[in-house]
Amino acid sequence: MTHGSSTPHQQPASGKIDTSVPHSARIWNYWMGGKDNYEVDRVAGDQYREVAPTIEVMARASRAYLIRTVTHVAGEAGIRQFLDIGTGLPTYDNTHQVAQRIAPEARIVYVDNDPLVLRHAQALLTSTPEGVTDYIDADLHDPEKILQAASKTLDFSRPVALMLMGILGHIQDYDEARAIVRRLQEALPPGSYFVHYDSTDTDQALKQAQQGYDDTGAVPYVLRSPEQVARFYDGLELIEPGIVSCPLWRPEPPDAPVEKTDVYGGVARKL
């Protein structure tokens, strides 16, 4: 389960919003306390939570992780360009808000292929006057289209932060997922960053809940092992503390007690 939704067949080709099937971005919004969801999403979200009660903690921990990682990349690392693929529905402290608080001139390109997400993006993802916020209607399965469209806003001769937050599980085939990640990373110049997380197969209840969700007819999400997740970082320089359960990635404050969740991620630099 993921907040992202840059996946095929998520909605009818007409672009109309299908409210008959639960939708990962809307369920994630529900777990985060948002209002942009339908009855079918709330039912599916409640069923998921009954089997895996930690899912709401995971959802909030994932957002807190996004805030900390973007803060680091825009702050200490000095990155001013962000490509956030599978952004999901806008909630609080979205990528551009976090980045532009630190660097008002930051340029952010969001990518999704869901009409509900894109509609909300147009309304809510507004930039600072100095920066740029853009959104692309594209599918993660088509990295060439994403890179071509993003190049109209981002300068790929300068460092970019590539963000794949909770989205790669929607690519069913592991080799294809790795090939897509590799292609996107290849397009980045040295000094760029890869920021990522995905839910893992490290909890039996979560695996059971995910199977129940997949059986609803919604777009499935593959829970992978931490070892499989780690291969997405091949060839990059991992930033401390490496690939860890998201709450363990540089918690704020540093001595805060943290509880591991079954969402793993990391930040890595392209050399």
User: What's the pLDDT score for residue 14?
Assistant: 42
User: What's the pLDDT score for residue 16?
Assistant: 67
CB atoms near residue 17 (< 10 Å): 15
Q: Which parts of 93-248 are beta strand (E)?
A: 107-112, 132-137, 161-165, 193-199, 237-238, 244-245
pLDDT along the chain (271 residues), means of 10: 42 60 88 90 95 91 96 98 91 92 97 86 84 94 98 98 96 97 98 98 95 88 97 98 97 88 97 97
pTM of the predicted structure, to 2 decimals: 0.91
User: What's the pLDDT score for residue 164?
Assistant: 98
Q: What does the alpha-carbon distance between residue 193 and residue 179 come to, in Å, rounded to a whole number? A: 17
Crossing angle (nearest 10°) for helices 95-102 and 55-74: 30
User: What's the pLDDT score for residue 12?
Assistant: 37
User: What's the pLDDT score for residue 72?
Assistant: 98
Give the three-state DSSP class for 74: helix
User: What's the pLDDT score for residue 15?
Assistant: 56
